[in-house]
Chain A
Amino acid sequence: MTRTILGLMLAILGLAALAWMPTQLGAYGVGLLLGMTGYVALASAWALFSGPTRYVSLATVAFFGIGAYTVAVLSETLPYWAVLLVAAVIGLAVALIVGLATLRLAGVYFVIFTFGLAELIRQLVTWYEVNVTGTLGRYIFLPITAEQIYWQLLAVAAGTIAIGWLISRSRLGLALKVIGDDETVAGHTGINIAGVKLALFAVSATIITLVGAIQAPRWTYVEPAIVFNPTISFLTLIMALLGGANRLWGPALGAIPLFLLFEWLSANFPNHYSIILGLLFIAIVFVVPRGVLAGIEDGWARLKRRGEAA
């Protein structure tokens, strides 16, 4: 109990320090911090669902894009908080449709469905803009500073990790562990498997939608090809995997170094960016399939066992 309180205080202190950081940094530093926090939130939200269920969601950018595009469309007609709310509701609705259609079935159906979802939504939005509104691309003029965006993202990231922590201590968390161990037993002990997965996917997708909505004002100019860029899904996935999708801090741990690496790569090797990314990703799947944190734990356990044996 005291350890929990100590951990909580440390987390609050850390959060305060992070919130204070922009005052010490220039515009470039704040931009980096903002992007990094955005990915910490995305990767953590992704892992919230995909970590325990092992359902690989490739639809991150579909929800991210929905959030960003909703802001682009509504920013001038509704107050900011209402825009965020509408975005979250749309993201939730799409998640429920996708989840209801696929989560009763084997995992591969879900992967396939999410694989093309971003492309589908991008094409639908493009079609709608060209044929109905007659404009492709929109401007976002919102009086929001980079610092304010950063603080919002920080709140979402902290909230996501907090949700992950709460879930791990709740009945939902136990249900996930049981499902992960043996779905048949899970069903026979009264766990509504599809329901658990759906709930988790909905939470994860809604958070991702919010991250997209909050980050949108950074672009000022938004069009479907920008906000539905599949690289975002890819980066989120690789970050969560590197750190370990089954660990509370894993995704955040993976997001920070990889984000900096990607920034550096895209500045220095803009043309070979996606090749390097792909190779790095394959390497992660081969070398640390369960993430760095789990790898360290395994190594530690092995060392300890050797120590006991000796």
Chain B
Amino acid sequence: MISTLITGLVLGGTYALVAMGLTLQYGISRIMNLAYGEILIFAAFAAFLLFSTFGINPILGLGIVLPAAFACGYLIYGVMMQPLVTRSKKTGTLEVDSILATFGLLFVIQGIMLVTFGSNYTSYNFLNTGINVLGANVAANRLLAFALAIIIGATLFFVLTRTRWGTTIRAIAVNPDAAPLVGIDVNRTARFAFALGTMLAASGGVMISMYQTFNASMGVVFTMKALVIVIMGGLGNLMGALIAGLLLGVVETLVATYVDPGLTLAATYCLFLVVLLWKPAGLFGKAAGR
């Protein structure tokens, strides 16, 4: 039981990190990014490639993958999202447009991965030794991933709550219309937040590649899980995403251990359904005025 809980928390750490990126993209940049999971898987493949071809271990690999992901996110926002944002000032259709555009992007990235890496499950062996934690045997790579998630998550949290730039970002999340009045450049911040979100997706991908098998068409599942966590935590709520992510990790591991590994997504969905029916504003969201 303890071992299941620990495994669940470790998995939940990655989920929480991934969901924080998505909540940044939706909360700040107002982009509902359906290609999010594809970016994650792409980063997983990148880590795999770096490790198996160039012998660069995933920790160092992060040093390459994360800046690259940031740049990609920056580019995607500038090329694809910016025109939609500009257009939506007249039509007010950013949400639908961004959903459609990123849905297209999903197929493009997935297609590129299928062509480059094929459709087989991929994994590599890195620090796959057991370590005893409170009497439970947990693989070293999972623990490492958890530690990384904590470090990256804590850094992000610190930046957002303690720095001027973080205040800017949160101001936009609370009131995008009023932000320009106090001299905030919404477009630049949105672009930055989108890039940051992409980077978080990539960091999640690298972590997952360390302890799990993956393939080119798995992105959808990760987007799905991240979305469910974001909704559970309350749209745009970082702390909520963190707690909901850990919760989902634990629930999934419990279901996989005691019920059936084939039903984890179903468990995710049940959780989602309960939250939608019971507290649509999220477990930690303030009650939204109707």
Contacts and interface: CB of A to CB of B under 8 A. Distances in A.
Chain A–chain B contact at Cβ < 8 A: yes
B133 interface: no
A17 interface: no
Contact of B115 (A275, A279, A286): A275
Interface centre among A274, A276, A281 (most CB of B within 10 A): A274
Contacts of B277: 101
B49 interface: no
A44 to B, nearest CB: 19
B111 A234 contact: no
A258 interface: no
A264 B23 CA distance: 39
A contact patch SS: helix
B286 to A, nearest CB: 15
B224 A116 contact: yes
Given A111-B99, A119-B221, A120-B266, A282 B276 contact: no
Interface stretch (A72-80, A124-132, A199-207): A124-132
A277 B109 CA distance: 11
Nearest to B223: A115
Interface centre among B99, B107, B276 (most CB of A within 10 A): B107
Contacts, number: 122
A77 B193 CA distance: 56
A237 interface: yes
B103 A281 contact: yes
Given A109-B280, A119-B265, A131-B262, A272 B97 contact: no
Contacts of B221: 116, 119
Contact of B108 (A123, A282, A286): A282
A127 B263 contact: yes
Nearest to B109: A278
A159 interface: no
Contact of A124 (B91, B104, B266): B266
A10 to B, nearest CB: 33
A107 interface: yes
B230 to A, nearest CB: 9
A302 interface: no
Contact of B95 (A107, A120, A123, A277): A107
Nearest to A110: B276
B contact patch SS: helix
B179 interface: no
A279 B108 contact: yes
B266 A123 contact: yes
A105 interface: yes
Contact of B105 (A104, A109, A112, A282): A282
B99 A282 contact: no
Interface in B220-240: 220-221, 223-224, 227-228, 231, 235
B64 interface: no
Given A56-B96, A109-B231, A120 B111 contact: no
Contacts of B101: 282, 285-286
Nearest to A277: B107
Given A119-B265, A272-B115, A282-B80, A112 B104 contact: no
Contacts of B269: 116, 120
Contacts of B224: 112, 115-116, 119
A58 to B, nearest CB: 7
B104 A278 contact: yes
Interface string A89-112: 000000000000110110111011
Interface residues of A, number: 42
Nearest to A274: B111
Contacts of B201: none
B30 to A, nearest CB: 11
Interface centre among A105, A120, A234 (most CB of B within 10 A): A120
B272 A113 contact: yes
A139 interface: no
B125 interface: no
Contact of A279 (B104, B235, B260, B272): B104
A177 to B, nearest CB: 17
Given A108-B95, A115-B223, A119-B265, A272 B111 contact: yes
A195 to B, nearest CB: 17
B152 interface: no
A31 interface: no
A90 to B, nearest CB: 17
B273 A101 contact: yes
A234 B262 contact: no
Interface string B101-125: 1011111111110110000000000
A54 B96 contact: yes
Given A56-B103, A105-B276, A275-B108, 16 more contacts: A58-B103, A104-B280, A108-B32, A112-B228, A115-B224, A123-B262, A127-B262, A131-B262, A234-B107, A237-B103, A241-B100, A272-B115, A278-B105, A278-B106, A280-B104, A285-B97
Interface of A: 54, 56, 58, 101-102, 104-105, 107-109, 111-113, 115-116, 119-120, 123-124, 126-127, 130-131, 230, 234, 237, 241, 271-282, 285-286, 289
CB-CB nearest 7 A-B residue pairs: A278-B107, A278-B108, A275-B111, A274-B111, A281-B104, A116-B224, A127-B262
11 contacts: A56-B99, A56-B100, A115-B34, A116-B228, A119-B220, A120-B269, A124-B263, A274-B110, A278-B110, A281-B100, A281-B103
